Protein backbone atom coordinates (compact mmCIF):
# COMPACT_ATOMS: atom_id res chain seq x y z
CA UNK A 1 0.00 0.00 0.00
CA UNK A 2 1.46 3.36 -1.01
CA UNK A 3 1.38 6.34 1.33
CA UNK A 4 -1.46 8.75 0.59
CA UNK A 5 -0.66 12.43 1.06
CA UNK A 6 -3.79 14.58 1.48
CA UNK A 7 -4.18 17.33 -1.05
CA UNK A 8 -4.25 20.92 0.25
CA UNK A 9 -7.89 21.32 -0.79
CA UNK A 10 -8.82 18.16 1.14
CA UNK A 11 -7.04 19.44 4.25
CA UNK A 12 -8.85 22.77 4.01
CA UNK A 13 -12.18 21.00 3.49
CA UNK A 14 -11.56 18.79 6.55
CA UNK A 15 -10.60 21.81 8.65
CA UNK A 16 -13.63 23.84 7.55
CA UNK A 17 -15.81 20.81 8.29
CA UNK A 18 -14.49 20.75 11.85
CA UNK A 19 -15.16 24.48 12.26
CA UNK A 20 -18.70 24.09 10.90
CA UNK A 21 -19.54 21.45 13.52
CA UNK A 22 -19.28 24.15 16.20
CA UNK A 23 -21.32 26.80 14.37
CA UNK A 24 -25.06 27.43 14.65
CA UNK A 25 -26.97 25.42 12.04
CA UNK A 26 -28.21 28.44 10.11
CA UNK A 27 -24.66 29.84 9.70
CA UNK A 28 -22.89 26.62 8.83
CA UNK A 29 -23.17 26.44 5.07
CA UNK A 30 -22.64 30.13 4.39
CA UNK A 31 -19.67 30.52 6.72
CA UNK A 32 -18.23 27.18 5.62
CA UNK A 33 -18.34 28.14 1.95
CA UNK A 34 -16.79 31.53 2.59
CA UNK A 35 -14.11 30.18 4.93
CA UNK A 36 -13.08 27.48 2.48
CA UNK A 37 -12.75 30.03 -0.32
CA UNK A 38 -10.79 32.47 1.88
CA UNK A 39 -8.41 29.80 3.15
CA UNK A 40 -7.86 28.68 -0.45
CA UNK A 41 -6.95 32.23 -1.42
CA UNK A 42 -4.69 32.61 1.60
CA UNK A 43 -2.90 29.42 0.63
CA UNK A 44 -2.43 30.48 -2.97
CA UNK A 45 -1.15 33.86 -1.76
CA UNK A 46 1.44 32.19 0.47
CA UNK A 47 2.47 29.80 -2.28
CA UNK A 48 2.93 32.73 -4.68
CA UNK A 49 5.05 34.54 -2.08
CA UNK A 50 7.16 31.38 -1.63
CA UNK A 51 7.45 30.82 -5.40
CA UNK A 52 6.21 27.24 -5.30
CA UNK A 53 3.04 25.20 -5.42
CA UNK A 54 1.09 24.78 -2.16
CA UNK A 55 1.85 21.51 -0.39
CA UNK A 56 0.70 19.65 2.72
CA UNK A 57 3.19 21.33 5.09
CA UNK A 58 2.28 24.81 3.90
CA UNK A 59 -1.43 24.06 4.23
CA UNK A 60 -1.03 22.66 7.72
CA UNK A 61 0.99 25.71 8.77
CA UNK A 62 -1.79 27.97 7.51
CA UNK A 63 -4.55 26.01 9.21
CA UNK A 64 -2.72 25.60 12.50
CA UNK A 65 -1.97 29.32 12.50
CA UNK A 66 -5.66 30.00 11.91
CA UNK A 67 -6.49 28.33 15.21
CA UNK A 68 -8.22 25.30 16.66
CA UNK A 69 -11.56 24.73 14.91
CA UNK A 70 -13.58 25.20 18.12
CA UNK A 71 -11.70 28.43 18.93
CA UNK A 72 -12.32 29.72 15.40
CA UNK A 73 -16.01 28.85 15.65
CA UNK A 74 -16.16 30.70 18.99
CA UNK A 75 -14.82 33.83 17.26
CA UNK A 76 -17.81 33.76 14.93
CA UNK A 77 -20.17 33.99 17.87
CA UNK A 78 -21.04 37.34 19.43
CA UNK A 79 -19.81 37.59 23.04
CA UNK A 80 -22.36 35.78 25.21
CA UNK A 81 -23.27 35.92 28.87
CA UNK A 82 -20.90 33.75 30.91
CA UNK A 83 -22.68 31.31 33.21
CA UNK A 84 -19.86 31.66 35.74
CA UNK A 85 -18.38 35.18 35.62
CA UNK A 86 -14.56 35.23 35.66
CA UNK A 87 -14.41 36.90 39.10
CA UNK A 88 -16.46 34.02 40.56
CA UNK A 89 -14.59 31.16 38.92
CA UNK A 90 -12.15 30.48 41.77
CA UNK A 91 -14.88 30.66 44.44
CA UNK A 92 -17.06 28.37 42.33
CA UNK A 93 -14.26 25.81 41.92
CA UNK A 94 -13.47 25.85 45.66
CA UNK A 95 -17.13 25.60 46.69
CA UNK A 96 -17.59 22.63 44.35
CA UNK A 97 -14.43 20.85 45.48
CA UNK A 98 -14.99 21.41 49.21
CA UNK A 99 -18.63 20.29 48.91
CA UNK A 100 -17.68 17.04 47.18
CA UNK A 101 -14.72 16.47 49.55
CA UNK A 102 -16.93 16.95 52.64
CA UNK A 103 -19.46 14.43 51.39
CA UNK A 104 -16.68 11.93 50.68
CA UNK A 105 -15.04 12.59 54.05
CA UNK A 106 -18.30 11.72 55.82
CA UNK A 107 -19.48 8.78 53.68
CA UNK A 108 -16.16 7.03 52.99
CA UNK A 109 -15.44 6.12 56.66
CA UNK A 110 -19.06 4.99 57.07
CA UNK A 111 -18.71 2.68 54.04
CA UNK A 112 -15.31 1.44 55.18
CA UNK A 113 -16.72 0.65 58.60
CA UNK A 114 -19.65 -1.30 57.18
CA UNK A 115 -17.45 -4.36 56.63
CA UNK A 116 -19.12 -5.15 53.28
CA UNK A 117 -16.86 -7.22 50.97
CA UNK A 118 -16.81 -4.71 48.09
CA UNK A 119 -17.40 -1.59 50.14
CA UNK A 120 -15.27 0.70 47.98
CA UNK A 121 -17.18 -0.24 44.80
CA UNK A 122 -20.48 0.11 46.60
CA UNK A 123 -19.44 3.47 48.02
CA UNK A 124 -18.28 4.77 44.64
CA UNK A 125 -21.50 3.84 42.81
CA UNK A 126 -23.66 5.35 45.56
CA UNK A 127 -22.24 8.17 47.70
CA UNK A 128 -19.00 8.63 45.71
CA UNK A 129 -20.60 9.50 42.39
CA UNK A 130 -23.70 10.84 44.11
CA UNK A 131 -21.62 13.61 45.68
CA UNK A 132 -21.43 15.26 42.28
CA UNK A 133 -25.01 16.47 42.69
CA UNK A 134 -23.41 19.43 44.46
CA UNK A 135 -21.42 20.90 41.50
CA UNK A 136 -24.49 20.23 39.32
CA UNK A 137 -26.68 22.11 41.78
CA UNK A 138 -24.21 25.02 41.83
CA UNK A 139 -24.16 25.17 38.02
CA UNK A 140 -27.98 25.25 38.00
CA UNK A 141 -27.98 28.13 40.49
CA UNK A 142 -25.40 30.08 38.46
CA UNK A 143 -27.47 29.49 35.31
CA UNK A 144 -30.48 31.06 37.01
CA UNK A 145 -28.28 33.95 38.19
CA UNK A 146 -26.93 34.43 34.62
CA UNK A 147 -30.51 34.51 33.30
CA UNK A 148 -31.44 37.16 35.89
CA UNK A 149 -28.36 39.24 34.93
CA UNK A 150 -29.34 38.99 31.27
CA UNK A 151 -33.05 39.61 31.75
CA UNK A 152 -32.94 42.33 34.41
CA UNK A 153 -29.44 43.85 34.18
CA UNK A 154 -30.44 47.06 35.98
CA UNK A 155 -31.58 45.07 39.02
CA UNK A 156 -28.16 43.51 39.56
CA UNK A 157 -25.79 46.05 37.99
CA UNK A 158 -26.42 48.94 40.36
CA UNK A 159 -24.38 48.75 43.56
CA UNK A 160 -26.43 49.07 46.71
CA UNK A 161 -24.84 49.82 50.08
CA UNK A 162 -25.16 47.07 52.66
CA UNK A 163 -24.57 48.82 55.95
CA UNK A 164 -25.43 45.99 58.29
CA UNK A 165 -24.66 46.42 61.98
CA UNK A 166 -23.37 42.92 62.72
CA UNK A 167 -23.00 43.64 66.41
CA UNK A 168 -26.65 44.56 66.89
CA UNK A 169 -28.64 42.05 68.96
CA UNK A 170 -32.28 41.68 68.01
CA UNK A 171 -33.62 41.30 71.54
CA UNK A 172 -37.06 39.80 70.70
CA UNK A 173 -35.45 37.23 68.39
CA UNK A 174 -32.80 36.36 70.95
CA UNK A 175 -35.52 36.04 73.62
CA UNK A 176 -37.38 33.58 71.37
CA UNK A 177 -34.10 31.72 70.81
CA UNK A 178 -33.53 31.58 74.54
CA UNK A 179 -37.03 30.19 75.04
CA UNK A 180 -36.39 27.44 72.49
CA UNK A 181 -33.04 26.62 74.15
CA UNK A 182 -34.73 26.26 77.56
CA UNK A 183 -37.47 24.15 75.98
CA UNK A 184 -34.84 21.93 74.32
CA UNK A 185 -33.06 21.39 77.61
CA UNK A 186 -36.37 20.53 79.28
CA UNK A 187 -37.33 18.05 76.55
CA UNK A 188 -33.92 16.42 76.64
CA UNK A 189 -33.92 16.01 80.42
CA UNK A 190 -37.50 14.74 80.40
CA UNK A 191 -36.70 12.30 77.60
CA UNK A 192 -33.71 10.98 79.51
CA UNK A 193 -35.79 10.52 82.65
CA UNK A 194 -38.73 8.91 80.79
CA UNK A 195 -36.54 6.54 78.76
CA UNK A 196 -34.52 5.47 81.78
CA UNK A 197 -37.61 4.98 83.96
CA UNK A 198 -39.77 3.08 81.45
CA UNK A 199 -37.15 1.26 79.33
CA UNK A 200 -38.15 -2.11 80.75
CA UNK A 201 -41.89 -1.73 80.19
CA UNK A 202 -42.28 0.52 77.13
CA UNK A 203 -40.78 -0.45 73.74
CA UNK A 204 -40.38 3.17 72.54
CA UNK A 205 -38.74 4.17 75.80
CA UNK A 206 -36.33 1.27 75.29
CA UNK A 207 -35.28 2.72 71.94
CA UNK A 208 -34.30 5.98 73.62
CA UNK A 209 -32.75 4.45 76.71
CA UNK A 210 -29.48 6.25 77.42
CA UNK A 211 -26.34 4.36 78.24
CA UNK A 212 -25.69 4.51 81.99
CA UNK A 213 -22.02 5.42 81.57
CA UNK A 214 -23.00 8.25 79.21
CA UNK A 215 -25.48 9.66 81.72
CA UNK A 216 -22.90 9.47 84.49
CA UNK A 217 -19.88 11.01 82.74
CA UNK A 218 -20.58 12.84 79.47
CA UNK A 219 -24.21 13.99 79.79
CA UNK A 220 -23.52 16.41 82.72
CA UNK A 221 -21.04 18.26 80.50
CA UNK A 222 -23.79 18.73 77.91
CA UNK A 223 -25.90 20.39 80.61
CA UNK A 224 -22.91 22.51 81.59
CA UNK A 225 -22.49 23.64 77.95
CA UNK A 226 -26.18 24.53 77.76
CA UNK A 227 -25.98 26.49 81.00
CA UNK A 228 -23.04 28.50 79.63
CA UNK A 229 -24.85 29.15 76.33
CA UNK A 230 -28.01 30.26 78.11
CA UNK A 231 -25.95 32.60 80.29
CA UNK A 232 -24.37 34.09 77.15
CA UNK A 233 -27.85 34.61 75.64
CA UNK A 234 -29.01 36.39 78.78
CA UNK A 235 -25.96 38.69 78.76
CA UNK A 236 -26.52 39.51 75.06
CA UNK A 237 -30.20 40.31 75.63
CA UNK A 238 -29.30 42.61 78.51
CA UNK A 239 -26.43 44.36 76.68
CA UNK A 240 -28.17 44.54 73.30
CA UNK A 241 -24.86 44.25 71.40
CA UNK A 242 -22.09 41.81 70.66
CA UNK A 243 -18.72 42.79 72.05
CA UNK A 244 -15.27 41.42 71.30
CA UNK A 245 -15.38 39.45 74.58
CA UNK A 246 -18.78 37.89 73.91
CA UNK A 247 -17.66 36.99 70.38
CA UNK A 248 -14.62 35.22 71.81
CA UNK A 249 -16.74 33.45 74.43
CA UNK A 250 -19.11 32.26 71.71
CA UNK A 251 -16.20 30.93 69.63
CA UNK A 252 -14.76 29.21 72.70
CA UNK A 253 -18.15 27.61 73.47
CA UNK A 254 -18.45 26.37 69.88
CA UNK A 255 -15.00 24.77 70.00
CA UNK A 256 -15.77 23.30 73.42
CA UNK A 257 -19.00 21.85 72.06
CA UNK A 258 -17.13 20.28 69.13
CA UNK A 259 -14.66 18.66 71.53
CA UNK A 260 -17.52 17.47 73.76
CA UNK A 261 -19.45 16.01 70.84
CA UNK A 262 -16.36 14.17 69.58
CA UNK A 263 -15.90 12.76 73.08
CA UNK A 264 -19.55 11.70 73.12
CA UNK A 265 -19.14 9.94 69.76
CA UNK A 266 -15.81 8.25 70.44
CA UNK A 267 -15.98 7.91 74.23
CA UNK A 268 -18.54 5.10 74.32
CA UNK A 269 -22.22 4.47 73.67
CA UNK A 270 -24.93 7.13 73.88
CA UNK A 271 -27.98 4.88 73.59
CA UNK A 272 -28.28 1.29 74.66
CA UNK A 273 -29.80 0.16 71.37
CA UNK A 274 -27.39 -0.10 68.46
CA UNK A 275 -29.59 1.48 65.75
CA UNK A 276 -30.33 4.59 67.82
CA UNK A 277 -26.69 4.80 68.87
CA UNK A 278 -25.28 4.55 65.31
CA UNK A 279 -27.75 7.13 63.94
CA UNK A 280 -27.01 9.57 66.75
CA UNK A 281 -23.25 9.24 66.29
CA UNK A 282 -23.57 9.92 62.55
CA UNK A 283 -25.71 12.99 63.19
CA UNK A 284 -23.26 14.28 65.81
CA UNK A 285 -20.30 13.95 63.41
CA UNK A 286 -22.21 15.96 60.82
CA UNK A 287 -23.05 18.53 63.48
CA UNK A 288 -19.36 18.90 64.41
CA UNK A 289 -18.47 19.49 60.74
CA UNK A 290 -21.23 22.09 60.44
CA UNK A 291 -20.16 23.82 63.68
CA UNK A 292 -16.51 23.97 62.62
CA UNK A 293 -17.52 25.32 59.20
CA UNK A 294 -19.67 27.97 60.89
CA UNK A 295 -16.86 28.93 63.29
CA UNK A 296 -14.42 29.21 60.36
CA UNK A 297 -16.92 31.36 58.45
CA UNK A 298 -17.41 33.66 61.42
CA UNK A 299 -13.65 34.04 61.92
CA UNK A 300 -13.17 34.81 58.23
CA UNK A 301 -16.03 37.31 58.20
CA UNK A 302 -14.83 38.99 61.35
CA UNK A 303 -11.30 39.61 60.11
CA UNK A 304 -10.19 43.12 59.28
CA UNK A 305 -11.27 43.70 55.67
CA UNK A 306 -8.69 46.33 54.81
CA UNK A 307 -5.34 45.92 56.51
CA UNK A 308 -2.73 48.63 56.69
CA UNK A 309 0.12 47.70 54.34
CA UNK A 310 3.61 47.13 55.70
CA UNK A 311 5.48 50.36 55.05
CA UNK A 312 9.24 50.47 54.47
CA UNK B 1 6.08 31.63 35.98
CA UNK B 2 6.11 35.33 35.13
CA UNK B 3 6.24 36.33 31.46
CA UNK B 4 9.52 37.67 30.08
CA UNK B 5 9.68 41.43 29.37
CA UNK B 6 9.43 40.67 25.64
CA UNK B 7 6.30 38.56 26.17
CA UNK B 8 4.72 41.24 28.35
CA UNK B 9 5.54 43.85 25.73
CA UNK B 10 4.08 41.70 22.94
CA UNK B 11 0.87 41.09 24.94
CA UNK B 12 0.38 44.76 25.75
CA UNK B 13 0.98 45.75 22.15
CA UNK B 14 -1.54 43.11 21.08
CA UNK B 15 -4.09 44.60 23.48
CA UNK B 16 -3.47 48.06 22.06
CA UNK B 17 -3.98 46.77 18.54
CA UNK B 18 -7.08 44.79 19.51
CA UNK B 19 -8.77 48.03 20.46
CA UNK B 20 -8.31 49.53 17.02
CA UNK B 21 -8.85 46.50 14.79
CA UNK B 22 -12.55 47.24 14.44
CA UNK B 23 -11.96 50.87 13.52
CA UNK B 24 -9.26 49.89 11.01
CA UNK B 25 -11.58 47.32 9.46
CA UNK B 26 -14.51 49.72 9.18
CA UNK B 27 -12.21 52.30 7.59
CA UNK B 28 -11.48 49.98 4.67
CA UNK B 29 -15.08 48.96 4.10
CA UNK B 30 -16.34 52.28 2.81
CA UNK B 31 -15.93 50.44 -0.50
CA UNK B 32 -16.87 46.77 -0.87
CA UNK B 33 -14.15 44.25 -0.06
CA UNK B 34 -14.06 40.50 0.46
CA UNK B 35 -12.11 38.93 3.29
CA UNK B 36 -8.82 38.24 1.56
CA UNK B 37 -8.69 41.56 -0.32
CA UNK B 38 -9.51 43.43 2.90
CA UNK B 39 -6.69 41.68 4.74
CA UNK B 40 -4.28 42.53 1.95
CA UNK B 41 -5.43 46.17 1.93
CA UNK B 42 -4.93 46.46 5.69
CA UNK B 43 -1.53 44.73 5.55
CA UNK B 44 -0.34 47.05 2.77
CA UNK B 45 -1.12 49.99 5.06
CA UNK B 46 0.84 48.45 7.91
CA UNK B 47 -2.13 46.99 9.80
CA UNK B 48 -1.57 43.25 9.44
CA UNK B 49 -4.45 41.35 11.05
CA UNK B 50 -4.41 37.59 11.40
CA UNK B 51 -6.91 35.90 9.13
CA UNK B 52 -8.30 33.92 12.07
CA UNK B 53 -9.21 37.21 13.72
CA UNK B 54 -10.38 39.20 10.73
CA UNK B 55 -12.75 36.78 9.00
CA UNK B 56 -14.89 36.00 12.06
CA UNK B 57 -14.86 39.73 12.93
CA UNK B 58 -16.53 40.53 9.60
CA UNK B 59 -19.36 38.15 10.40
CA UNK B 60 -19.77 39.55 13.91
CA UNK B 61 -19.90 43.12 12.62
CA UNK B 62 -22.47 42.05 10.08
CA UNK B 63 -24.46 40.37 12.84
CA UNK B 64 -24.41 43.68 14.74
CA UNK B 65 -25.84 45.46 11.70
CA UNK B 66 -22.68 47.48 10.98
CA UNK B 67 -21.89 45.74 7.70
CA UNK B 68 -23.94 44.38 4.82
CA UNK B 69 -22.71 41.64 2.56
CA UNK B 70 -23.55 39.80 -0.63
CA UNK B 71 -22.12 37.00 -2.73
CA UNK B 72 -20.58 38.17 -6.00
CA UNK B 73 -18.74 36.50 -8.87
CA UNK B 74 -16.20 38.83 -10.44
CA UNK B 75 -12.84 37.44 -11.58
CA UNK B 76 -12.87 34.08 -9.87
CA UNK B 77 -14.97 31.95 -7.55
CA UNK B 78 -17.99 33.34 -5.65
CA UNK B 79 -16.87 35.74 -2.92
CA UNK B 80 -18.70 37.45 -0.11
CA UNK B 81 -18.24 41.21 -0.32
CA UNK B 82 -18.73 43.39 2.74
CA UNK B 83 -19.41 47.10 2.97
CA UNK B 84 -20.56 49.55 5.65
CA UNK B 85 -24.27 49.71 6.34
CA UNK B 86 -25.93 53.05 7.15
CA UNK B 87 -25.57 52.25 10.84
CA UNK B 88 -21.94 51.26 10.26
CA UNK B 89 -21.21 54.57 8.52
CA UNK B 90 -22.65 56.51 11.46
CA UNK B 91 -20.68 54.45 13.94
CA UNK B 92 -17.51 54.80 11.87
CA UNK B 93 -17.85 58.61 11.90
CA UNK B 94 -18.45 58.59 15.64
CA UNK B 95 -15.54 56.22 16.37
CA UNK B 96 -13.23 58.24 14.13
CA UNK B 97 -14.00 61.34 16.19
CA UNK B 98 -13.44 59.45 19.43
CA UNK B 99 -10.17 58.06 18.10
CA UNK B 100 -8.89 61.53 17.15
CA UNK B 101 -9.80 62.90 20.57
CA UNK B 102 -8.15 59.97 22.30
CA UNK B 103 -4.93 60.10 20.28
CA UNK B 104 -4.78 63.87 20.90
CA UNK B 105 -5.10 63.33 24.65
CA UNK B 106 -2.58 60.48 24.74
CA UNK B 107 -0.13 62.40 22.55
CA UNK B 108 -0.43 65.29 24.99
CA UNK B 109 0.22 62.99 27.94
CA UNK B 110 3.23 61.39 26.28
CA UNK B 111 4.52 64.85 25.30
CA UNK B 112 4.18 66.05 28.92
CA UNK B 113 6.14 63.06 30.15
CA UNK B 114 8.95 63.72 27.64
CA UNK B 115 9.20 67.40 28.56
CA UNK B 116 9.23 66.49 32.28
CA UNK B 117 12.12 64.07 31.74
CA UNK B 118 14.02 66.71 29.80
CA UNK B 119 13.41 69.26 32.56
CA UNK B 120 14.59 66.87 35.29
CA UNK B 121 18.24 67.42 36.36
Distance from CA of A32 to the nearest CA of B (A): 11
Of A31, A37, A66, the CB nearest to B77: A37
- In this structure, are residues A103 and A127 in contact, taking their beta carbons and an 8 Å threshold? yes
- Determine the 3-state secondary structure of B80 from DSSP: strand
DSSP-assigned letter for residue B68: E
- Determine the 3-state secondary structure of B76 from DSSP: coil
DSSP-assigned letter for residue A168: B
Structure confidence at residue B1 (pLDDT): 60
Q: Which of these, A309, A296, A307, A251, lies nearest to A98 by C-alpha position?
A: A296
Of A33, A35, A65, the CB nearest to B55: A35
- In this structure, are residues A57 and A7 in contact, taking their beta carbons and an 8 Å threshold? no
pLDDT score of A253 more than 60: yes
- Cα distance between residue A240 and residue A234, in whole Å: 10
Angle at A234 between CA A230 and CA A238, to 5 degrees: 170
Q: What is the pLDDT of residues B3-47, one digit of tens each?
A: 888 889 988 888 888 889 999 999 999 999 999 999 999 999 999
- Determine the 3-state secondary structure of A207 from DSSP: helix
Residue of B nearest to A43 (CA): B36
Residue of A nearest to B59 (CA): A76
Chain-chain contact of B59 with A35 (C-beta, under 8 angstroms): no
A70 close contact with B: CB closer than 8 A: no
Distances (CA, A) of B51 to A23, A69, A149, A267: 18, 13, 34, 71
Q: What percent of chain A has pLDDT over 90?
A: 42
Q: What is the pLDDT of residues A205-240, one digit of tens each?
A: 778 888 888 888 988 899 899 999 999 999 999 999
- Cα distance between residue A228 and residue A252, in whole Å: 11
Crossing angle of helices A25-50 and B51-63, rounded to 10°: 150
Most B-contacting residue of A37, A43, A48, A78 (CB-CB within 10 A), to test interface = A37
Q: What percent of chain B has pLDDT over 90?
A: 64
Distance from CA of B94 to the nearest CA of A (A): 22
Q: What is the pLDDT of residues B80-89, one digit of tens each?
A: 999 999 999 9
Structure confidence at residue A2 (pLDDT): 43
A77: chain B residues, CB-CB within 8 Å: 60
Antiparallel, parallel or unpaired: β B79-84 and B33-34:
antiparallel
DSSP-assigned letter for residue B81: E
- Determine the 3-state secondary structure of A210 from DSSP: strand
pLDDT score of B114 more than 80: no
3-state secondary structure B14-41: HHHHHHHHHHHHHHCCCCCEEHHHHHHH
Mean pLDDT of A248-268: 92
Highest mean pLDDT among A157-161, A261-265, B13-17: A261-265
Chain-chain contact of B63 with A78 (C-beta, under 8 angstroms): yes
- In this structure, are residues A127 and A104 in contact, taking their beta carbons and an 8 Å threshold? yes
Amino acid sequence: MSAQFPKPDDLIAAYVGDVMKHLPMKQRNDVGFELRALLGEELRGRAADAGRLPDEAMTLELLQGFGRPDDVAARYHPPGVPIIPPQQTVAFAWTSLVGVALQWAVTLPMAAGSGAPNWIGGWWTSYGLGAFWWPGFLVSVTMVAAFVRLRWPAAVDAWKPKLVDRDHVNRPMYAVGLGFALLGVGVWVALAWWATTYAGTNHLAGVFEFDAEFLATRAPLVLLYWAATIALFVVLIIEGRWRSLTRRIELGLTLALCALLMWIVFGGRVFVQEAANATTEGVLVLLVIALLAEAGWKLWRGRSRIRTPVVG
Amino acid sequence: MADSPQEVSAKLEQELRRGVIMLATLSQLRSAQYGYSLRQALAERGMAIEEGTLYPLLRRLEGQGLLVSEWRIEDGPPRRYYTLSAQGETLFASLTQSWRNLTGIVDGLIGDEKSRKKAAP
